[in-house]
Amino acid sequence: MATDITSIEPGAVVRSGCPAPKPRASRMPTQWFGVAPFFLFAILFLIAPTAYLIVGAFQTPAGGFTLANVAELWQPTIRAAYWISIKISLASALLGAFIGLALAIAIVRGGLPAWVRGATLTFSGVASNFAGIPLAFAFLATLGRLGLATILLRDVFGFNLYAAGFNILSFSGLTLTYLYFQIPLMVVIITPAIDGLKKEWGEAAATLGATQWQYWRMVVIPVLWPSFLGTVILLFANAFGAIATAYALTGSSLNIVPILLYAQIRGDVLHNPHLGYAIAFGMIFITGMANVFYIWFRTRSERWLK
């Protein structure tokens, strides 16, 4: 008998001596039943389709492993598409973030009447969801060749926008259009963070003899930094995946990644289905990397705040 006891794991002895864990062991699965529908839904319709494309990006048509599809992303047209997409997303995210921040600070801290704040936040809620095709229509009616702003600038101020090199169907035009939903999104997300800046901090800093600039540099910016950065990343992903606005605005004349992928899905314009997977993989990779950066920055800044 003694030899039997040595062969039994210590945990097993404890378990046999104590009946309590038994009901927990049987409760464990029923507990998971409650979230099973959600996980099933998420796996079937979010994770599996994405994983399917990622795996496909590294497969030959016969099913073997290859890096050729991803390597083909370096051909000039596709590389150019990625580059202009990244430029537009980055420009609209950064501009949107800084302008949105300035607006949020103005309405929270600027001593403006209360209705200004209310109106701005309401409008931001609307405008941040006013994207897609109607937004393209609105900007064509404003800054297109026959748009109101174009005509007013020409007839009243004698300034011909299009002769000056502007085109709504270009990098600057698309960035300007994207700002219409990027700025409000920033305002919506960052206003609560600015509200969270306690008045006492400013008073404490002033009591200790800090100048306004020192208060901003040492208190406000470190506190706002993580949410600011997080929102920039969100805005970047937001612009990077957007297709409807660009498609309605430019047709397929502006070669950005989502439009390229759209054409590929519709008609295999690249004549290689697996290259389509690689483009999708590239998009996920870029937005994914942006988030990794965000998490990394955030853990760093949190350590700093401690």
127 near another protein, judged by CB under 8 A? yes
123 near another protein, judged by CB under 8 A? yes
The answer to whether the beta carbons of residues 178 and 94 sit under 8 Å apart is: no
In the bound state with another protein, the residue whose beta carbon lies nearer, of 109 and 217, is 109
Q: Residue 39, SS3?
A: helix
Retrieve residue 202's tokens: 């400013």
Helix 114-127, helix 76-109: angle, nearest 10: 160
Closest CA to 190 of 107, 92, 70: 107
In the bound state with another protein, the residue whose beta carbon lies nearer, of 17 and 37, is 37
Task: Work out which of 13, 67, 68, 149 binds another protein, going by CB under 8 A.
Answer: 149
Q: How far is the CB of 306 from another protein (least distance, A)?
A: 20
Task: Work out which of 98, 137, 171, 216 binds another protein, going by CB under 8 A.
Answer: 137
Task: Work out which of 86, 138, 197, 263 binds another protein, going by CB under 8 A.
Answer: 138
CA dihedral 23, 24, 30, 33 (to 10 degrees): 180
Q: How far is the CB of 168 from another protein (least distance, A)?
A: 11
In the bound state with another protein, the residue whose beta carbon lies nearer, of 56 and 226, is 56
Task: Work out which of 205, 226, 258, 278 binds another protein, going by CB under 8 A.
Answer: 258
Closest CA to 232 of 90, 121, 123: 90
Residues 26-85 that bind another protein (CB under 8 A): 31, 34-35, 37-38, 41-42, 44-50, 52-53, 56
Helix 171-195, helix 221-241: angle, nearest 10: 140
145 near another protein, judged by CB under 8 A? no
276 near another protein, judged by CB under 8 A? yes
Task: Work out which of 140, 153, 174, 275 binds another protein, going by CB under 8 A.
Answer: 140
The answer to whether the beta carbons of residues 280 and 273 sit under 8 Å apart is: no
Q: How far is the CB of 76 from another protein (least distance, A)?
A: 22
Q: How far is the CB of 147 from another protein (least distance, A)?
A: 6
Q: Cβ–Cβ contacts within 10 Å for residue 223, how many?
A: 18
Q: How far is the CB of 60 from another protein (least distance, A)?
A: 16
Q: Residue 59, SS3?
A: strand
Task: Work out which of 66, 87, 132, 298 binds another protein, going by CB under 8 A.
Answer: 132
Q: Residue 134, SS3?
A: helix
Per-residue contact track with another protein, 218 to 237, x per CB under 8 A?
A: ----------------x--x
